[in-house]
Structures are given as structure tokens and as C-alpha cells.
Amino acid sequence: MSFEKSIDTAALPSGLQERDQWVCWREEPRDGKPTKIPVAPNSGKFASSTDSDTWASFETALDYAETVNADGIGFVFTDDDPIVGVDLDDCRDPESGDVDKTTLDIIERLDSYTEISPSGTGYHVLIKGDLPDGRNRRGSIELYDTARFFTVTGDHLEETPTRVARRQDALVAIHREYVQKTDTDGVSESGYHGPANDQSQPTGTVDLEDEDLLEKARNASNGEKFERLWRGSTAGYDSQSEADMALCCLLAFWTGGNQTWIDRLFRQSSLLREKWDEVHYADGSTYGEKTIERAIANTSEFYDPDAGEPSTEVSKGKNESSTTDRRDETNQNHAYLVEKNRLLTDRIDDLEATVERKNERITELEKEIKRFKVELADSNRDTDASLGERAVTPKEGKNESKVTSMWGKTKRLFGNGPG
């Protein structure tokens, strides 16, 4: 089989193309099943995902695939790069393009470069991060970061970014929910699914009216953030889904992880939209239900109104109130450190990409300037030669020739002047 489909190189992240971690592949039957066999672009022999001598540059692999017997190209994952591949198989109808809801959930949360697989029945997502320990495959979902290769098509999923984004938190959550999760996973009283040994489950009971709880949230150290989200602002977030999650995390803290209460409060906020009640998951869960579950699972500390009660042995007086407030604020802020770190990391990635583009533009401009200088020098030499061929009288001699040459250069630089 020959390489029939050209790859849209413009769609591929430049960071991938710059790495010399490319192989070709061709499909061969193995044990009655079609198998993608890696091929070394430099030799045409079998390639190994653990032997860098069998890999090549992107250009070399692409050229081999387009001119020799190969079905496509592939990127090799190694311990020396931060890239993780998420392989989603048998989740897409190649005719209609329909996708199952679990896959849509994973793609939306990873929010990084995603492309359609060669068969058209799956997706490949590339992110930056560290693959969590434990199993790396369950059903049709597989995660890997070393000693494997991804077939690369360049058939970019338009709704996703064109860069490989850092998504460590999303990777950890997806690994826990879809890959590491076992049949013994527990369900807390609040209704969210999580590992039985998860230490971040909500504890204690919050007995407040809605307005009293909202007032506490607005008066906390991150009250401005809460108020912005409550009023429907998504500033600082890549999507409204991230803003939804941020507000739910705040509500999870203040409600003690009460799922029903979080839902009731969220419906009072300006972030509420029709999507909240839409079924988005194979288990019948709505977008809102799943968002609340994840918010509770990702919140490590919860507001406990009893934690600040004065000791029966020693009264702390006025200091008790301030100490309790500081402890509540510290606990609450801790729940959002991961989220803040991700936003900052994404911002750094964006700035690095901008700097890279500007450096490329500077290089192009420097080349243009150099070319113009060469052309100008050549033009001046041609002008001098032309003027040198003109006959000069003994009276004019060399001085007139020199003046004429200078005048020619000036006209070349500034135009012919007025007629």
C-alpha cells in the first residue's frame, strides 16, 4: 500500500516537527489483524520505538512516506520529551462523524492538539504532562509517553487548539476516572465517584442559608474571583466550561461538598446555560452533574464551621475569629492551587509560542535586509560599469567620472527625483 493522503504540515504543531523522533509505518497482517509496522525512514528496515538510530527528522520521514512504499508517518514518544499521547479508539463513525460522549468529554477537557486517526474511527490527542503511575489502558482508551509511536495524519480536529498544550491536571483526572478506576471504587454520600482511599472527600455539615453562604464567599480572600464568576464573567479562562468548574469548586468548598446545594446555587448564578441540563455522558449524567462531581473530587479542603470553635480549656477571645478566618481562607485557596498553576502554565506556553513566532519573523526580516543589500550593491556596480563606458574628455578626467558614479548611487537609493 502506498502513501495516498498528503499530510497538512501547516496543521501540525511546530514543536513536533522540530524533533528528530519520526518514523514511517506500513500496515501488515499479523495474526489475522492489520498491524502498523514502524519503518526506519533512513534505511527502509524495521524501526524500533526504543532505538533512536532508526528515527529521523520530520522532513526525512515525510519524504520517505511520499516517495517509497509506506502508509504514513509516526511520532515516537521518549523519556526525553514532555509529550503524552492519548489514544481514543473505536469512538467515531467515519461516515457520519458521530462521536461517543465519553470521547467528547476527554477531548474537551484535554483541550490540546487533536487529530483523527488513519482509520477515521478514533482520535489522537497530544498534550504535555507526566503520565501518572498505574495502568495506562482501559478498554479503547490508552495513554503513553515513552517507547511507543503515534501515527500522525495532520487531520486536525478544528474545535481543538493547534498547539500541544500542558494539561497535567486534566491528564491526572482523566487517568483516574477512565483508566485507573476499578470496580471497587467507592461512591461518597455526596454522590460523586472516586477512589475508596481518596482523602479529599467532604466532611462536616454546613448549616447556613443560601444568602449567608454567598456572603461568606464574597467576603473571603478570593471573594472578588467568586463575585466575577457568580456574575457570569469568564475572564481568565479558556472556555466557559473552565469557568463553570471554577465556580463549582468554590461552591464545593463552602457547601461542604453538598452536591444538591451546589446545583441549587449554581442555577442562581449568571453562568447557568442550557448545556447544564444536557446529557453529555454514556452513563446518563448531565453536563452539570458531572461538573459538580469533578469539582467535589478536585476540592481537597471543605469549609467546616465547627473547626473554629473556642477551646473548652482556653478561651482565645477575639483572636479566635481572625485565626478561624485565616484557616478557612487558607484551606479554600489550597483547593485552587492546581487550577491557578495550570492557567499560568498555559499563559507561559502562549507567550513562548508568541516569542517563537516573533523570532522567526525577525529572522525572515534579517534575510530580506541582507538580500536587499546584496541587490543594492549589485545595482551600484552595474551603474558604475555603465557610466565607466561613457567617453569622457581629458578635461573631465577621473573627477567627473567619480561624481557621476556618486550621483547614480544617490538616484538608486532615493529614486529619480523630480522630472
Give, as one character, the DSSP assignment of residue 178.
Answer: I
For residue 295, being part of any structural domain is answered with yes
The answer to whether 94 and 116 have CB atoms below 8 angstroms apart is no
H or E segment to which residue 150 belongs: strand 148-152
- The reply to whether 276 and 329 lie within a common domain is yes
- The reply to whether 95 and 139 lie within a common domain is yes
How far apart CA 251 and CA 198 sit, in angstroms, is 20
* Among 159, 88, 153, 78, residue whose Cα is nearest residue 125: 88
Q: Is 64 helix (H, G, I), strand (E, B) or coil?
A: helix
- The reply to whether 163 and 48 lie within a common domain is yes
166 φ/ψ angles, rounded to the nearest 5 degrees: -80, 120
**C-alpha atoms less than 13 angstroms from C-alpha of 85 in its C-beta half-sphere:** 25
| Cα–chain center distance at 56 | 25
- The reply to whether 203 and 156 lie within a common domain is no
What count of residues does the chain have? 419
- The reply to whether 304 and 195 lie within a common domain is yes
Residue that terminates a domain, selected from 177, 206, 238: 177
For residue 1, being part of any structural domain is answered with no
For residue 378, being part of any structural domain is answered with yes
- The reply to whether 205 and 330 lie within a common domain is yes
Give, as one character, the DSSP assignment of residue 156.
Answer: B
Residue that terminates a domain, selected from 305, 335, 365: 335
Enter the C-alpha cell of residue 55: 528515527
For residue 198, being part of any structural domain is answered with yes
Task: For 339-374, write each residue's pLDDT tens digit.
Answer: 555 556 656 766 776 777 788 789 888 888 988 888
Task: For 117-137, write each residue's pLDDT tens digit.
Answer: 999 999 999 999 999 988 888
286 forms bridges with which residues in the sheet?
279
For residue 419, being part of any structural domain is answered with no
pLDDT string in tens for the chain (419-residue length): 444 557 888 889 989 999 999 999 998 887 677 888 899 999 999 998 888 999 999 999 999 998 887 899 999 999 999 999 999 999 999 999 999 999 999 999 999 999 999 999 999 999 999 999 888 888 889 998 988 999 999 999 999 999 999 999 999 999 999 988 644 343 333 333 333 333 344 444 677 888 989 999 999 989 999 999 999 999 888 888 889 999 999 999 999 888 889 999 999 999 999 989 887 776 677 889 989 988 888 887 888 776 643 332 333 333 444 444 455 455 445 444 555 555 566 567 667 767 777 887 898 888 889 888 888 888 888 777 766 665 544 544 545 555 555 556 555 555 554 44
- The reply to whether 236 and 363 lie within a common domain is no
Cα three-residue angle 8-11-12, rounded to 5 degrees? 95
For residue 98, being part of any structural domain is answered with yes
- The reply to whether 20 and 159 lie within a common domain is yes
Residue that terminates a domain, selected from 135, 151, 177: 177
pLDDT reported for residue 41: 95
For residue 346, being part of any structural domain is answered with no
Cβ count within 10 A of residue 243: 19
Number of domains in the chain: 3
- The reply to whether 214 and 284 lie within a common domain is yes
- The reply to whether 208 and 242 lie within a common domain is yes
- The reply to whether 143 and 171 lie within a common domain is yes
- The reply to whether 195 and 88 lie within a common domain is no
What range does the domain containing 375 cover? 355-414
Per-residue burial over 344-353, b = 16 or more CB atoms within 10 Å of its CB, e = otherwise: ebbeebeeee
For residue 2, being part of any structural domain is answered with no
pLDDT reported for residue 28: 85
pLDDT reported for residue 100: 92
